[in-house]
Amino acid sequence: MKVTIVGAGNVGATCADVIAFKRIASEIVILDIKEGLAEGKALDISQTATTLGFNTKVLGTTNDYSRTADSDVVVVTSGIPRKPGMTREELIGINAGIVKTVCKNILQHSPNTTIVVVSNPMDTMTYLAHKTLGLPKNKIIGMGGALDSSRFKTYLSIALRKPASDIHGMVIGGHGDSTMIPLIRLATYNGMQVSEFLSKDELKKIASDTMVGGATLTKLLGTSAWYAPGASVGYLVDSILNNQKKIIPCSVLLEGEYGQDDICIGVPTVIGKDGVEDILDIQLNSEEQKLFEKSAQAVRNMNNALDSVLK
């Protein structure tokens, strides 16, 4: 199984590292526009094979898309990350052009691939990929909800003082500081509702820490995060390539689900060999539904900013 990762920066290189180390694919191609960067990252990762124990072939290329031919999955991480104080939405001006060009190049060499969009603002970039490529809707997946949910579960585990592996929870909605919706009502610790153990105030703080999880890291690091994003991409790609049918909140094109149409936004999906194999249109309570509608409106407004790129 072959995976291409476009963008050899912090997130792209970490994705490659996770996918190789966990033996998720047999071949990884990393592509970047910056001369020598992808080759260097690929060589460095290859040199961990004997000590970490994997046989995945890792190759880097400077913008030669012929090397990406016949990829089963392509992960798009190319573009700029935000700096402290910025929102993800502010990246649209530069990243929309990059994502559009990259997606077109990819499809020329891998017409049957599944595309995982990571570049921000991710929901808008996922929508752009749909509009640019016209692929079947199961073939384009925006990664954000897997990461937001992992942050949600981490904050819950810290408050509960229990292992994160015993906690289940999900974040839906847009992948933005004010559009994420951590579904507290459905979060559980070993099958028991977390509200049994945590106060309303504690849960409120966990939800707001989750929503600004990316901004918190950006402030600490001076650029946005990469370890948890890279691991979340690995988790998603594993479910595709190994047909695991995991339920993962992903940004997908809605056609009536959750009362929304012609928008990419995070909802629970089943991810397997065909990409998005199902969209789970679960019943939200009235408060969650209101939040979802507000989130969708904000995401929709950003899509309008794509008008000039889509011409």
Ligand X SMILES: NC(=O)c1ccc[n+]([C@@H]2O[C@H](COP(=O)([O-])OP(=O)(O)OC[C@H]3O[C@@H](n4cnc5c(N)ncnc54)[C@H](O)[C@@H]3O)[C@@H](O)[C@H]2O)c1
> What are the residues binding ligand X (CB under 6 A)?
6-12, 31-34, 37, 77-82, 91, 95, 98, 101-102, 118-120, 122, 143-144, 147, 175, 223-226, 229
Choosing among ligand X, ligand LMR, none, which partner's interface includes residue 78 (Cβ < 5 to 8 Å by kind)? ligand X
Range 60-86 burial, b when 16+ CB lie within 10 A, else e: bbeeebebbeebbbbbbbbbbbbeeee
Known catalytic membership, residue 175: yes
Instruction: State yes or no: 243 annotated in a binding site.
Output: no
Query: Is residue 67 classed as helix, strand or coil in its secondary structure?
Result: helix
Asked if 5 and 77 count as a contact pair (C-beta separation under 8 A), the reply is: yes
Q: Which of 76, 90, 75 is nearest to 121 (CA)?
A: 90
Minimum Å distance from CB 11 to ligand LMR? 8
Is residue 225 marked as binding?
Answer: no
Encoded tokens for 150: 């992992």
Check the annotation: does 120 bind a ligand.
yes
H helices of the chain, in order, are 10-21, 37-46, 49-52, 92-109, 122-133, 145-160, 200-211, 213-221, 227-241, 286-304, 307-310
Q: Which of 109, 130, 168, 175 is catalytic?
A: 175
112 is in an annotated binding site: no
Among 173, 214, 234, 268, binds ligand LMR (CB under 6 A): 214
Residue 174 binds: one of ligand X, ligand LMR, none (C-beta under 5 to 8 A by kind): none
C-alpha closest to that of 79 among 15, 128, 6: 6
Among ligand X, ligand LMR, none, what does residue 118 contact (CB within 5–8 Å per kind)? ligand X
Does 224 participate in binding ligand LMR (rule CB under 6 A)? yes
Kindly state whether residue 154 participates in binding ligand LMR, applying the rule CB under 6 A: no
Using CB under 6 A as the binding rule, whether residue 182 contacts ligand LMR is answered as no
| CB neighbourhood size of 227 (10 A) | 13
Helix pair 227-241, 10-21: axis angle to 10 deg = 50
Token reading at 140 = 């384009």
- Closer Cβ to ligand LMR, 156 or 270, answer by number: 156
Identity of the residue numbered 221? L
CB closer to ligand X out of 176 and 272: 176
Q: Is 106 helix (H, G, I), strand (E, B) or coil?
A: helix
Q: Which stretch binds ligand LMR (CB under 6 A): 124-132, 221-229, 230-238, 302-310?
A: 221-229
Backbone dihedral angles phi then psi of residue 282, each to the nearest 5 degrees: -80, 160
Query: With CB cut-offs between 5 and 8 Å by kind, which of ligand X, ligand LMR, none does residue 218 bind?
Result: ligand LMR
Q: Which residues have a catalytic role annotated?
A: 175
Q: Annotated binding site for NAD(+): which residue ranges?
A: 7-12, 32, 95, 118-120
The contact set with ligand LMR (CB under 6 A) reads 81-82, 88, 120, 147, 175, 214, 217-218, 224-225, 229
Q: Which residues are annotated as a binding site for substrate?
A: 82, 88, 120, 151
